[in-house]
Amino acid sequence: MPPTRDAALYDVVGIGNALVDVLTNGDDGFLLRHGLVKASMALIDAERSEELYHAMGPGIEQSGGSAANTMAGVASFGGASAYIGKIADDQLGEVFTHDLQATGVSFSCLPSPIGVPTGRCLIVVTPDAQRTMSTYLGVGELLGPDDVDADLIASGKITYLEGYLWDKPEGMAAYRKAAEAAHEAGRRVSLTLSDSFCVARHRDAFLDLVQSQVYVLFANEPEITELYEVTSFDDALQKVRHHCDIAALTRSANGSVIVAGDEVHVIDAYPTNVVDTTGAGDQYAAGFLYALTHDMPLDVCGKLASRAAAEVISHFGPRPAMSFSTLLS
Amino acid sequence: MPPTRDAALYDVVGIGNALVDVLTNGDDGFLLRHGLVKASMALIDAERSEELYHAMGPGIEQSGGSAANTMAGVASFGGASAYIGKIADDQLGEVFTHDLQATGVSFSCLPSPIGVPTGRCLIVVTPDAQRTMSTYLGVGELLGPDDVDADLIASGKITYLEGYLWDKPEGMAAYRKAAEAAHEAGRRVSLTLSDSFCVARHRDAFLDLVQSQVYVLFANEPEITELYEVTSFDDALQKVRHHCDIAALTRSANGSVIVAGDEVHVIDAYPTNVVDTTGAGDQYAAGFLYALTHDMPLDVCGKLASRAAAEVISHFGPRPAMSFSTLLS
């Protein structure tokens, strides 16, 4: 990392949709009957959330939210991370706050008192270990620039943002304020494209961001090909390599590719027994960002990212089940 | 089962403390520091619940409650079960209701509007797979006779009651009403002693119940020796064998013993890889009650009970992760 004006308090500050996941097992027939597209994330309203929850089998609740998962992963490595996201003054808000703080992430956003509940993500895990997500954002969709503490952003080496934020105008404004605050403080901005449907919804905005603001871009294969409207991974790779400083492109079982101008690393997936792919991308980003903010070379960043992703997909749930710091030895 | 006046709508109707479990991993040091007795259940108030939750690591939430777990197990076998328990009009109450109904259990208790939250059970799972429980009953402690629908009790072949109910005067009164309604309708009553500390608190009452009202008694080794204030399992066995009609006595890895007067069956534990013992006794009772209400002989009841217990301890959480009906073939 290049030197910045002041010593950073945090390695990474994440901003995203604060969600509690409700995980259940289901089969392809369930997805079909309820019009769900496998392995994607769809936004749903309160009514549809009720409907779908009613149809779902018994669940387990576990704190989630893409960027929050990533911050939990950074903390699990022993990194200093903080999180910004909007929760309500309700039981799911308490659960979210408890779990995030218990992982060692700094989280001090006050619960919103307006009566809109904390967001939840209904996740159906199919026997092929894919997860299909339906998100009711709840109060999370009101996350706006007022929720972004510019001093906190300035105190992190890298600010990490979810593409999902672009689904709501207030979220976009929050994103812009955060990116500005980071750049003003001489810090870096990192973006995950989140979901290929999300990319399709906001392609032009993302293309512009990647070129003008993003130091590290995270994307999986469907997302990066969707961004550049190409059909092959290699075509996307050639497009992105001079478009942002660093791109970390994940390809599920086929591993990942790290590209930074002329530097290219092809990293194998770390072998594991796949139980539930929820959190794979989130923990990949955690490993990468931890390593990057600790001045490790890009190939090591990729390898640590793969280790973290392998751990999280070997069990149910989107956050580490062991201390990632043991992966460092 | 002996013939009763009318055909039964339900195989089993359970009554107990409605709880959402919050499961976390912890070590023996954590138990020591917080004054927790391994493998026991302690009742705690709202303040202590806050304190302990704050100290705990990240958790997962999953619907629990001993009798509710058993009813979910009976339903998983394909049995008809119903549940009576008190929840609040809050998010944990919704989670509890959803999960129980989604397993196929009939549950129609209306949420209490008085503002006391749904109960929760903070469970620390140690590396030896033991679970140590701290229960904040919340609105559950207000479960009283008014919550017991006598017609529902009369429509079940067996009413299944938690010993835990005796911890609160209102719960005792609810127990009495249920037992009376069952007996008036020519139905059976079944009791689980729940926990050895619970037995110590209510020994005389339990001794009287076992003799006068209980058709099937469930107890583990610490509970049954505590009940009769004896030091050996065999001493307890000789005491209980003519004290109630059927006793199903569990001994963890040493299997279980079913005793009904002169009929005695020694059943081996079904081999499995133990991950989390939460729900072992609850699902043992589920297998036993399902088999008993389907007129299977007592040794088969014990074997099915052991299979169900083995399944639930092979994964995290107190309810079946697969359909118990597959154990019947």
Per-residue confidence (pLDDT) for residue A275, from 0 to 100: 87
Q: What percent of chain B has pLDDT over 90?
A: 91
Whether the CB-CB separation of B278 and B123 falls below 8 Å is answered with: yes
Helix (H, G, I), strand (E, B) or coil at A98: helix
How many helices (H) does chain A have, and how many strands (E)?
Answer: 12, 13
Give the ranges where chain B is alpha helix by DSSP (H).
Answer: 28-33, 46-55, 66-76, 91-102, 150-154, 169-184, 196-201, 203-212, 221-228, 233-240, 280-293, 298-313
Contacts of B56 in chain A (CB under 8 A): 98, 102
Per-residue confidence (pLDDT) for residue B247, from 0 to 100: 98
Task: Write the residue in B57, B63, B91 that is nearest to A58 by C-beta.
Answer: B63
Q: How many CB pairs under 8 A join A and B?
A: 57
Contacts of B139 in chain A (CB under 8 A): none
Amino acid code (one letter) for B176: R
Contact between chains at B60 and A61 (C-beta distance less than 8 A): yes
Phi, psi of A204 (to 5 degrees): -60, -45
Contacts of A62 in chain B (CB under 8 A): 60-61
Distance (Å) of CA A25 to CA A51, A121, A177, A313, A314: 17, 14, 39, 15, 16
pLDDT-based confidence at residue B288 (cuts at 50, 70, 90): very high
Task: Write the residue in B60, B92, B98 that is nearest to A317 by C-beta.
Answer: B60
Contact between chains at B99 and A59 (C-beta distance less than 8 A): yes
- The whole-angstrom separation of Cα A310 and Cα A32 is 29
Count of residues for chain A?
329
pLDDT in tens, A86-105: 999 999 999 999 999 999 99
Largest Cα separation within chain B, whole Å, is 55
Shortest CA distance from A53: residue in chain B: B98
pLDDT 10s per residue in chain A (329 long)?
544 556 899 999 999 999 999 999 999 999 999 999 998 889 999 999 999 999 999 999 999 999 999 999 999 999 999 999 999 999 999 999 999 999 999 999 999 999 999 999 999 999 998 899 999 999 999 999 999 999 999 999 999 999 999 988 999 999 999 999 999 999 999 999 999 999 999 999 999 999 999 999 999 999 999 999 999 999 999 999 989 999 999 999 999 999 999 999 999 999 999 988 889 999 999 999 999 999 999 999 999 999 999 999 998 889 999 999 999 98
Domains of chain A (ranges, CATH numbers): 10-328 (3.40.1190.20)
Per-residue confidence (pLDDT) for residue A5, from 0 to 100: 54
- The whole-angstrom separation of Cα A29 and Cα A27 is 5
Q: What is the dihedral of CA B173, B179, B180, B183, to 10 degrees?
A: 180
pLDDT in tens, A176-226: 999 999 999 999 999 999 999 999 999 999 999 999 999 999 999 999 999
Distance from CA of A53 to the nearest CA of B (A): 8
Q: B47 CB contacts (<8 Å, ≥6 apart)?
A: none
The gap from C-alpha A312 to its chain's centroid, in whole angstroms, comes to 13
The gap from C-alpha B45 to its chain's centroid, in whole angstroms, comes to 21
Amino acid code (one letter) for A270: Y
A46 touches chain B (CB under 8 A): no
B71 touches chain A (CB under 8 A): no
A102 touches chain B (CB under 8 A): yes
Phi, psi of A64 (to 5 degrees): -140, -140
Task: Write the residue in B54, B61, B100 that is nearest to A60 by C-beta.
Answer: B61
The answer to whether residue B3 scores a pLDDT higher than 60 is no
Per-residue confidence (pLDDT) for residue A317, from 0 to 100: 86
Contact between chains at B60 and A60 (C-beta distance less than 8 A): yes
Question: Which of A60, A71, A324 to mutate to test binding with chain B, by most B CBs within 10 Å of its CB?
Answer: A60
Distance from CA of A62 to the nearest CA of B (A): 5
